[in-house]
């Protein structure tokens, strides 16, 4: 192999290595890019960071139909808690306000920080499920063995499309105590 080719090979090898390193960065760039794309208006999905309170507005109650709202409670991995809802399902008219109580208990003898993350099925109904008050808006702090009653007040926006007859709302509690200590 002559000298020229050896130099060309080294240069091309180096340039391709730079491309590889840039692609490593691109992998990380996908993280913010994903958030940006998910906020585009035409991409609708429920996102944990879109959990926020909506001010109570008076809607006209749509008595003509009933939607079955189901509640599920889950604990992530081995989160040492007891977590349940006062009812497993509730029939509601769109536009009508309801409050549902959730119960949580810290099973450990030490303080605990936990966060409940909601998830909707069908996912597209999340936009019409308006919460005025929810324990999922912020992290919850529990004293040792503390029991809590946590209300969730919501309304279904009457603009909810008619094909949705059942909405499942699932909450998962994540134990964030370790992360909270680090902070």
Partner 1 sequence: MSAVTAEHDHDDHHHDDHAHGPEKGWLRWVVTTNHKDIGTLYLVFALAMFFVGGTMAMIIRAELFEPGMQFVDPQFFNSMTTMHALVMVFGAVMPAFVGLANWMVPMMIGAPDMALPRMNNMSFWLLVAGILLLASTLFMEGGAPAGGWTLYPPLVLQTGKALPFAIFSVHLLGISSIMGAINIVATILNMRAPAMSLMKMPMFVWTWLITGFLLIAIMPVFAGAVTMLLTDKFFHTSFFDAAGGGDPVLYQHIFWFFGHPEVYVMILPTFGVASTIIPVFARKPLFGYSSMVYATAAIAFLAFIVWAHHMFTVGMPISGELYFMYATMLIAIPTGVKVFNWTATMWKGAMTFETPMLFSISFVVLFTLGGFTGLMMSIAPADFQYHDSYFIVAHFHYTLVPASIFMIMAAGYYWMPKWTGHMYNEKIGQLHFWLSAISVNILFFPQHFLGLAGMPRRIPDYAIQFSDWNMISSIGGFIFGASQLLFLYIVVDTIKGGTGEKVTDEVWEDAHKHGLEWTLPSPVPYHTFSTPPTVIPCDHD
Query: Please, which of residues 130-169 interact with partner 1 by CB under 8 A?
Result: none
Q: Which of 43, 52, 60, 161 is in the footprint of partner 1 by CB under 8 A? A: 43
Asked whether position 72 contacts partner 1 by CB under 8 A, the answer is no
Asked whether position 94 contacts partner 1 by CB under 8 A, the answer is no
**What dihedral angle (degrees, nearest 10) is formed by the CA atoms of 40, 41, 47, 51?**
120
CA Rg value for the chain: 24
Q: How many helices (H) and strands (E) does the chain have?
A: 2, 9
DSSP 7-30: HHHHHHHHHHHHHHHHHHHHHHHH
Q: Which of 19, 36, 58, 109 is in the footprint of partner 1 by CB under 8 A? A: 19
Asked whether position 3 contacts partner 1 by CB under 8 A, the answer is no
Query: Which region among 27-35, 64-72, 89-97, 143-151 touches partner 1 (by CB under 8 A)?
Result: 27-35
Q: Which of 72, 90, 117, 132 is in the footprint of partner 1 by CB under 8 A? A: 117
Asked whether position 21 contacts partner 1 by CB under 8 A, the answer is yes
Asked whether position 73 contacts partner 1 by CB under 8 A, the answer is no
Q: Which of 70, 72, 76, 101 is in the footprint of partner 1 by CB under 8 A? A: 76
Residues 6+ apart with CB under 8 A from 117: 48, 51, 136, 171, 172, 174
- Reduced to 3 states, what is the DSSP secondary structure of residue 124? helix
Q: CB of residue 128 vs partner 1: minimum separation in angstroms?
A: 15
Q: Residues for the chain: how many in total?
A: 183
Asked whether position 50 contacts partner 1 by CB under 8 A, the answer is no
Q: Name which of 100, 175, 170 is nearest 134 in CA terms.
A: 100
Tokens representing 27? Answer: 């992998």
| Interface positions with partner 1 (CB under 8 A) | 1, 5, 8-10, 12-13, 16-17, 19-28, 30-31, 34, 42-45, 47-49, 76-77, 115, 117, 123-124, 172, 174-176, 178-179, 182
């Amino acid at each position: 192999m002559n000298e020229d080719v050896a130099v060309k090979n080294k240069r091309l090898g180096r340039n391709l290595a730079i491309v590889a390193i840039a692609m490593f960065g691109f992998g990380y760039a996908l993280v913010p890019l994903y958030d940006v794309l998910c906020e585009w208006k035409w991409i609708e999905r429920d996102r944990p960071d879109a959990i926020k309170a909506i001010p109570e507005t008076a809607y006209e109650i749509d008595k003509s139909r009933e939607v079955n709202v189901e509640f599920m409670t889950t604990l992530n991995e081995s989160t040492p808690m007891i977590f349940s809802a006062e009812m497993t399902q509730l029939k509601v008219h769109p536009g009508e306000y309801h409050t549902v109580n959730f119960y949580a208990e810290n099973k450990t003898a030490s303080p605990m920080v936990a966060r409940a993350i909601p998830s909707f099925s069908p996912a597209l109904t999340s936009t019409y499920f308006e919460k005025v008050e929810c324990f999922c808006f912020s992290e919850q702090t529990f004293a040792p063995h503390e029991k809590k009653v946590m209300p969730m007040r919501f309304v279904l926006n009457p603009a909810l499309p008619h094909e949705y007859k059942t909405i499942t709302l699932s909450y998962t509690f994540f134990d964030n105590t370790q992360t909270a200590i680090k902070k």
